[in-house]
Structure 1
Amino acid sequence: MNKAKQILLKALSSPDSRLDVEKSRKLMNLKALDPLKPFYRTLDTKFYREGREIPLRIYFPDSESYQTAEAVQKGDMTDNIYPVLLYIHGGGFVTESVDSYSRVCRNLAKHTRHVVVAIDYPLAPEHRFPTQVEDCYAVAKAVFADRNLLNADPDSITIMGDSAGGNLTAAVTLMARDRGEFAPPRQILIYPCVNNNYRENNGFASLMENGQDYLLTRQNMADYLDYYQSSERDRENPYFAPLLAEDFTNLPKTLIITGEFDPLRDEGEAFAAKLAKGGNQVECHRIADGIHGFFLLETFHPAVKKTYEYINEFLETEGIQD
């Protein structure tokens, strides 16, 4: 990484300050002000669990896929020939939304030729573990089993998430394996948060090497988990911290992307190693110069472009590159 970029990132990082939830949410929500949003092909729908509404937004790669989904929603059981990405956004369980991730999801639909279903799960600290995991699991189960939503072939569905969304993706696939109600064939984890401790040196070198000067700080991560947990006991639950799972067998084919200067780099790569040791098909790629959150940049950025190459190879699709 060049020196000028390193100096800028250090100036923007605040390693010792505690997380201000409202300030962080307002800052992240600025991304929802997207002038291109009216031109995206989307459908908004809702899922209900325990009397609560979970908004979903569906993004389409082209007009044909949009028209097919519209027909399914109206009760015409037209076969959906498009593969599906079920996307769970990041934000430390505390910030971000489907609105702030609109451009990311639109780019995913366009550049992978997949229909993208984005889950607007509730945020901490107003809602705490295991609400987010259970909500995402319930939506995933419906996408796999309910032909009235998209009429998608279960074998064509991939679950994907970044950061905290990577945590929830890994937790959902563990839960699906344990409960036996559906079987995701693939998962994609972008710089996932899969550990349970960021309060001190947790054994992973990247936390200390990259936990101060690269936007996401060790203090941020400690605060996020404090807001997410319902009690300290949660930290020993593998659905809270998937890296702690004792059984890594019979899990989906997995792609993990990490960033060279991400404090979560080493835990993501350790998670990949555990999946491989459990006998699963795993790919893990470290993106040079990648910091936490780089996937939210535009697709012409070298790190994002390289990530899309790995994603499309993993999905066995040609995709589209600018």
Structure 2
Amino acid sequence: MALDPQVKALLDGMAANTDVPRIIDLPPQGAREMYRAMAAQLDAQGLPIGRTEDRTIPGPAGEIPVRIYTPVAAGSDALPVLVYFHGGGWVIGDLETHDALCRTFANESGCRVIAVDYRLAPEHRFPSAVDDALAAVQWVEANASSIGVDPNRIAVAGDSAGGNLAAVVAQLARDTKGPQIAYQILIYPVTDTDTETGSYQAFATGHFLERDGMVWFIDHYAGEGDRADPRLAPLKAASLAGLPPAYVVTAGFDVLRDEGRAYAEALKAAGVPVEYVNYDGMIHGFFNLQAVLDVGRDAVKAASKALKDALA
């Protein structure tokens, strides 16, 4: 297994730029600004979309900002809907950093996409993000007719920490008998709080997301909370039976690879239909690097097709 040449060139360029601080050496607000600037530079910009609408919805601790994406050439019929939770270690990331990804998902899948700007840590620690994520899916189901979506075709998705939230919401929805979630897309998800797995050891440094970075994110989010709580570590749930079908993506050179694969295997063992895809030469975050990685663009399209087929 070797790094994709485009990935290697990107990592080499980052390593050579010694003037740029690490995200974990910045205060959270500085880290958010740096991540926003990185997204603007490395992800696709100005992708066409049928329509976007920024609004707020009621949440457990106040209004939650969301962005609703209507795909190009959408008709007047109720559309399937994807509720998307952005990545960023529960500390960074927002509607802007994942705008290109949500636009691509909408256009390629034909779904209306609703991106959720949940509360971030450390200002709002665990389980604030979980509470917001679940409230957003509940709102989508309750308001399906007014936003033009089919309440019987709701999917959840997210990358990294957002994949964690999607997995957790799917579990909570099962346990509370709703909302009814038809499909889940988990993109290099955080499924555990164990930072000593084989992939953590193999890719601890030099591969974009580093072990120290994940420790920083988990510490900011979890605080003194129980790190074995399934709402934080969904791999530790007592049972994964009865969850919606899943599409699970991992990257070959990612500290989170092993826990993503373990979650896919655990879902299969519990009788859940799973499609697991590992992109051997990729690093964490490659879905958000569409401007510089050909495989990134192809991977988003492949996940969108799986979503389209699942909700057809």
Shift of residue 145 of structure 1? Answer: 2.9
* Kept in 1: contact 2:267–2:274 (CA 8 A): yes
How far does the alpha carbon of each residue in 1:25-84 deviate from its partner, in whole angstroms, 9 at most, with x for none?
11112246986389762011211123511011011112545xx5xxxxxxxxxx41x221
Shift of residue 4 of structure 1? Answer: 5.0
Mapped partners of 2:247, 2:129: distance in 1: 22
Which residue of 143, 147, 156 corresponds with 1:146? 143
* Kept in 2: contact 1:83–1:157 (CA 8 A): yes
Mapped partners of 1:125, 1:42: distance in 2: 29
Is 1:209 paired with 2:210?
no
Aligned to 2:237: 245
* Kept in 2: contact 1:174–1:251 (CA 8 A): yes
Mapped partners of 1:295, 1:147: distance in 2: 28
Mapped partners of 1:132, 1:105: distance in 2: 19
**RMSD over equivalenced CA pairs, Å:** 2.6
Which residue of 28, 42, 50 corresponds with 1:21? 28
* Kept in 2: contact 1:15–1:219 (CA 8 A): no
How far does the alpha carbon of each residue in 1:240-284 deviate from its partner, in whole angstroms, 9 at most, with x for none?
111111111000100001001111011100000000000100111
* Kept in 2: contact 1:128–1:228 (CA 8 A): yes
Mapped partners of 1:299, 1:154: distance in 2: 34
Which residue of 34, 38, 55 corresponds with 1:45? 55
User: What SS class does the counterpart of residue 204 from structure 2 fall into?
Assistant: coil
Which residue of 198, 211, 223 corresponds with 2:216? 223
Mapped partners of 2:209, 2:266: distance in 1: 25
User: What SS class does the counterpart of residue 165 from structure 2 fall into?
Assistant: helix
Q: 1:32 to 1:313 in 2, by over 3 A?
A: closer
How far does the alpha carbon of each residue in 1:187-245 deviate from its partner, in whole angstroms, 9 at most, with x for none?
000100111132xxx2x211111120111100000010110014242x11001111111
Amino acid at match of 2:285: G
Mapped partners of 1:186, 1:281: distance in 2: 10
Is 1:91 paired with 2:88?
yes
If the length of structure 1 is used for normalisation, what is the TM-score? 0.85
Mapped partners of 2:121, 2:136: distance in 1: 19
Which residue of 56, 59, 66 corresponds with 2:69? 59
Query: Greater CA deviation, 216-225 or 35-44?
Result: 35-44
* Kept in 2: contact 1:40–1:106 (CA 8 A): no
Mapped partners of 2:204, 2:73: distance in 1: 43
Aligned to 1:118: 115
Q: 1:124 to 1:12 in 2, by over 3 A?
A: farther
How far does the alpha carbon of each residue in 1:61-113 deviate from its partner, in whole angstroms, 9 at most, with x for none?
12545xx5xxxxxxxxxx41x22111100010000101222122112212222
Aligned to 2:259: 267
If the length of structure 2 is used for normalisation, what is the TM-score? 0.87
Shift of residue 152 of structure 1? Answer: 1.9
Mapped partners of 1:241, 1:56: distance in 2: 25
Aligned to 1:76: none
Query: Greater CA deviation, 299-308 or 92-101?
Result: 299-308
> What count of residue pairs does the alignment treat as equivalent?
300
- After superposing on structure 2, the runs of 4+ consecutive aligned residues of structure 1 that deviate more than 4 Å are 2-6, 9-19, 32-35, 37-40
* Kept in 2: contact 1:15–1:217 (CA 8 A): no
Mapped partners of 2:9, 2:115: distance in 1: 36
Mapped partners of 2:280, 2:67: distance in 1: 32
Is 1:182 paired with 2:179?
yes
User: What SS class does the counterpart of residue 206 from structure 2 fall into?
Assistant: coil
Mapped partners of 2:143, 2:290: distance in 1: 33
Structure 2 stretches lacking a partner, 5+ long: none
